[in-house]
Every structure is written in C-alpha cells, then in structure tokens.
C-alpha cells in the first residue's frame, strides 16, 4: 500500500512538473490573467518561438504558464513542445525582429534628429544674442560718433570765430602800423622844420651882426 501511494505521489509530481513549451502562430499571442477575452487582462503579448514554462494544461482549451516570473493563461493550441522550425514561423519572427530594429533605429534617428535640432536652436539663440550685443555696441558707437560730430561742428564754429577775430586783429594791427608810420613821419617833418627854422634864425642873426659891425 505504501509503495502504491509513493508511486502515485511520484506520478503526480511528474504530471505537475513544469515543462518548457514554445509559442506558435502567425501573430503575437496574448498571455492573460484569466481565460476571458478582455483587453484589461493581457499581461504580455508573446512573440513566436517565445519559450514559456507550462504549469498545467486545462480541459477548457487554456493552459497555465509562467513567463518572466509571472503566471497567466494562454490558449493551448498556440503552445508546442518543439520549437517551431517552419519557414512561415521563421519569416514571421524575422519580420518581427526587423520591425523591432526599424522601430529602434527610428527612435534613435528621431532622438538624434531632435538632439541635432535642439543644438541648432541653441546655436541660433546664441547667434541672436550675439547679434543683439553687436546692435547695442553699434548703437553706442553711433551715439559716440554723433557726440564727436557735434563737438567737431562746435569746434569748427569756434575755429571760424577765431579766424574772423584773427583777421580783425591783423587789420587793426595793420592800421596801427600805418598810424605809427604817419606819426613818425610827421615828427620827423616837424623836427626838420624846427631845425631849418633855427638855421634860418641863426643865419639872420649873423647877417644882422655883420651889418652892425660895419
């Protein structure tokens, strides 16, 4: 009796032992939390040839499986104990892998494009900031140039006034030189007149003296 019970336990353990099964079919097969077809009970969408651990095959067409540490159910007809090797499955798997690669490359390309666009936007912002600084500097230089121009105009006007004053001074100086020359000439003429007068007076006196002497 004990041997029979031990044999029964061993057979039960053998039946309950998990075995590796593979997902077959033409599309991704959902692994669900229970045997109902609702969107909210999907745990994973399993690709073709995905290995899963078979816990128990039920009589209602569903099987209990474990995948990535989680338990769920899947339709039994999509499970096979041999890894599918038919060309259709391989083609579908290649298509799935290729689609994954495309999606990954597309994501990487989009990320690279976004990163490049972001760098270009930042470069344009830096260029705009630099141009704004140049505009401010140019406006400051224009103000300084206008100030210098106004100062130059003021100096030019002052220079014209100085030139006019110099001309007047030269004319006055020339007039003074002419007056001095005439004054000197008049003085010399007066002195010569006085000298001649004295000479004539002395000559007259000498003539009278000689007459009285006779």
Note down pLDDT in tens along the chain; length 214 residues.
Answer: 554 454 444 444 444 457 888 887 667 899 999 999 988 899 999 988 889 999 999 999 999 999 999 999 999 998 988 776 655 656 676 777 888 888 888 777 778 888 888 888 998 888 888 888 888 988 888 888 988 888 888 888 888 888 888 888 888 777 766 666 777 878 888 888 888 877 777 777 776 666 655 5
What pLDDT is attached to residue 86? 54
Cα–Cα dist 33/26, whole Å: 22
Long-range Cβ contacts of 13-18 (<8 Å, 24+ apart):
16/56, 18/53, 18/54, 18/55, 18/66
Which pLDDT belongs to residue 62? 96
CA distance 191 to 18: 157
pTM: 0.35
């Amino acid at each position: 009796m004990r041997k029979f019970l031990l044999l029964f336990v061993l057979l039960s353990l053998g039946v309950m032992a998990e075995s590796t099964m593979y997902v077959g079919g033409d599309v991704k097969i959902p692994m669900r939390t229970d045997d109902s077809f609702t969107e909210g009970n999907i745990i994973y969408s399993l690709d073709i040839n995905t290995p899963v651990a078979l816990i128990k095959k039920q009589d209602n067409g569903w099987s209990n499986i474990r995948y990535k540490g989680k338990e769920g159910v899947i339709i039994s007809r999509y499970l096979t104990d041999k890894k599918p090797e038919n060309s259709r499955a391989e083609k579908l798997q290649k298509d799935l892998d290729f689609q994954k690669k495309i999606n990954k490359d597309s994501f990487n390309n989009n990320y690279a494009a976004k990163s490049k666009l972001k760098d270009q936007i930042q470069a344009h912002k830096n260029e705009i900031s630099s141009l704004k600084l140049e505009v401010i500097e140019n406006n400051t230089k224009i103000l300084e140039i206008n100030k210098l121009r106004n100062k130059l105009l003021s100096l030019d006007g002052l220079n014209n006034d100085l030139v006019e004053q110099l001309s007047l001074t030269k004319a006055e100086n020339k007039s003074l030189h002419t007056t001095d020359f005439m004054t000197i000439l008049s003085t010399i003429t007066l002195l010569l007149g006085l000298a001649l007068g004295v000479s004539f007076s002395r000559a007259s006196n000498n003539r009278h003296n000689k007459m009285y002497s006779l």
